[in-house]
Amino acid sequence: MSQSANNKVNLTHLIEQKREQMFKTAATHGMNHQLTLKCSQELDKLILEYQKLSI
């Protein structure tokens, strides 16, 4: 497996974990809570990194 493919697999796992964390945080604290918004921003960054690898 190439380095790029490895990075994409790792990012996929990180994205899944961050998405789950965000959903749990939203369920506990609400959609507009600071922790939920922070998770959302971190998830956005991970997705952007993944997209950059796909170009």
Over residues 17-43, the pLDDT tens digits come to 999 999 999 999 999 999 999 999 999
Nearest one of 52, 35, 42 to 17, comparing CA atoms? 42
Asked if residue 4 lies in contact with residue 53, where contact means CB atoms within 8 angstroms, the answer is yes
pTM of the predicted model as reported, rounded to 2 decimal places? 0.91
Q: Helix H segments across 1-55? A: 3-29, 34-54
Helix 3-29 with 34-54: angle, nearest 10 deg: 160
The amino acid at 55: I
The two tokens of residue 17 are 């974990």
Assign 1 a pLDDT band (cuts: 50, 70, 90). Answer: confident
